[in-house]
Structure 1
């Protein structure tokens, strides 16, 4: 086995361990995982490794994947498992909060998000949803934000924004669905950087130490949250200026999707030998 394959196998084991932990915790047996893996092998072989100008064949996919022609034929059209409704709820809630934070029409004199009346033409929650939430009743958006803990109802009936972060997944299933989006984006970033020129690589940075005292972590965690949130809000304002859904006057060609993500992780560290 050459060094590249050894590195790939080791990396795959590291990736699979936390994923398998999630699968076992949710009673997903190996057979179901193996079937999913086969489906993805076939899907990727068809979409990413075809020969230009030639129709993909079952025989070629069989050679690429190591699966039998019979298996390839059986799973050539894998089912769509993505939950579009959940992702749309996330995007809608994030857009509404982003508009509330960055749009001066919904600020107070100090430049902070206003406590909004539900109804009204100027500076109301209904107007906010109409501007940033798409064709969805404002009541439905409010209920979603309340469930997520992003807003609260005041005694006078107004709505107050209590966090600039929208995490709508109060149900375990919703939290797991976003796993497929965030982890995918990180792996795709690494894949891009593995085969692209250095001048075309995507941002991929981290800091990591493995001999920190437990007492240092609360400060580290707090600083990471505060500084990262501030940076993300600044970048959100920049991206929103160029997003043609939020800013129809933005000029340019093509249609691109860009993501900037930050995470914090900690665990017990094993001493070095």
Structure 2
């Protein structure tokens, strides 16, 4: 019997790479740079994800697994030792997000009804105190400017007090923060899919992974659908956040003296035109 798994994987991989190629070309990344990053990812995966637990992985073993030469493996390993892109998770975007999360969940910055309080910029229990508590070394003014720019925070005209308009920080535009979120979201999705593909063989419970898709939607309903999908998705994320957020050690004030897990749920919207092929069938 012919094994169709590699062919199916190639088809899935091409579908992933096609929009990625568009993004790379739009941002001026040639194939040579992408190729180097792929080599680096292969080497890192070989050393970190396929160690046998008994001995340190070798360049020779990584070369056999990846198909790269030992010289190329050593080169990429040395680059990884000095600069690992996965460690870049304390960005401006994450700091702004932590500030918003603290505003939502920390009792110090909440109104008596449990909702995020209206804050003064300076003073006791102020926005500046919130930023100092949750953003590290970012200045309160820099964080405020960013949150105003994306519409998360508004300043009351008469009082000058700060009002939280949205319960989540989402960068606007094709910015560095959006590109970082792209890297995190796509890697999280691929990690989940990889885990689920292997879960049956390993006897593990698969992680939740669902998609709602229709192929015959008329264009005239899309405006209403976009609005409905955004509103209900935001409501669901806020409901989940209200339960999970207070358990985060940085929000609850628990001492970070034990194992921690990064977890969450991603929701994204998509649409694309359905093109008819030469036979008239939908693709």
Q: Give the TM-score taking structure 2 as reference length.
A: 0.85
How many residue pairs get aligned? The number is 272
Aligned to 1:202: 207
Q: What is the DSSP-based 3-state SS (H/G/I as helix, E as strand, rest coil) of the residue aligned with 1:194?
A: helix
- Would you say the 8 A contact 1:93–1:145 is kept in 2? yes
- Would you say the 8 A contact 1:62–1:68 is kept in 2? yes
CA-to-aligned-CA distance 1:216-271 (integer Å, 9 cap, x gap): 11111111111111111111121122111111248995211102111111111124
- Would you say the 8 A contact 2:44–2:77 is kept in 1? yes
Distance in 2 (alpha carbons) for counterparts of 1:230 and 1:224 = 10
Distance in 1 (alpha carbons) for counterparts of 2:74 and 2:109 = 55
Distance in 2 (alpha carbons) for counterparts of 1:20 and 1:243 = 36
- Would you say the 8 A contact 1:118–1:126 is kept in 2? yes
The farther-off stretch of 26-35 and 260-269 is 26-35
- Would you say the 8 A contact 1:59–1:69 is kept in 2? yes
Distance in 2 (alpha carbons) for counterparts of 1:51 and 1:102 = 42
Q: CA RMSD in A?
A: 2.6
**Structure 1 residue 234 corresponds to structure 2 residue 236:** no
**Structure 1 residue 176 corresponds to structure 2 residue 161:** no
Tell me by how many angstroms 1:152 deviates.
2.2
Tell me by how many angstroms 1:28 deviates.
1.2
CA-to-aligned-CA distance 1:73-117 (integer Å, 9 cap, x gap): 222223435386674322222222223334455455666433322
**Structure 1 residue 63 corresponds to structure 2 residue 68:** no
Q: Give the TM-score taking structure 1 as reference length.
A: 0.88
**Structure 1 residue 97 corresponds to structure 2 residue 100:** yes
- Would you say the 8 A contact 1:62–1:69 is kept in 2? yes
- Would you say the 8 A contact 1:62–1:72 is kept in 2? yes
Aligned to 1:117: 120
The farther-off stretch of 97-106 and 261-270 is 97-106
Runs of 5+ consecutive residues of structure 2 not aligned to the other structure: none
CA-to-aligned-CA distance 1:116-166 (integer Å, 9 cap, x gap): 2212314x3233334444454322321221233321222232112222231
Q: How does 1:245-264 map to 2 (within 5 A)?
A: 245-249=250-254, 253-264=258-269
- Would you say the 8 A contact 1:83–1:177 is kept in 2? no
Q: What is the DSSP-based 3-state SS (H/G/I as helix, E as strand, rest coil) of the residue aligned with 1:75?
A: helix
Distance in 1 (alpha carbons) for counterparts of 2:256 and 2:30 = 49
Aligned to 2:151: 149
- Would you say the 8 A contact 1:147–1:170 is kept in 2? no
Q: How does 1:44-55 map to 2 (within 5 A)?
A: 44-55=45-56
Tell me by how many angstroms 1:26 deviates.
1.3
- Would you say the 8 A contact 2:103–2:109 is kept in 1? yes
Tell me by how many angstroms 1:10 deviates.
0.7
**Structure 1 residue 187 corresponds to structure 2 residue 190:** yes
Tell me by how many angstroms 1:176 deviates.
1.5
Q: What is the DSSP-based 3-state SS (H/G/I as helix, E as strand, rest coil) of the residue aligned with 1:269?
A: coil
Structure 1 residues 220 and 27: alpha-carbon distance in aligned structure 2, compared to 1, 3 A threshold: same
Structure 1 residues 239 and 5: alpha-carbon distance in aligned structure 2, compared to 1, 3 A threshold: same
Q: What is the DSSP-based 3-state SS (H/G/I as helix, E as strand, rest coil) of the residue aligned with 2:261?
A: coil
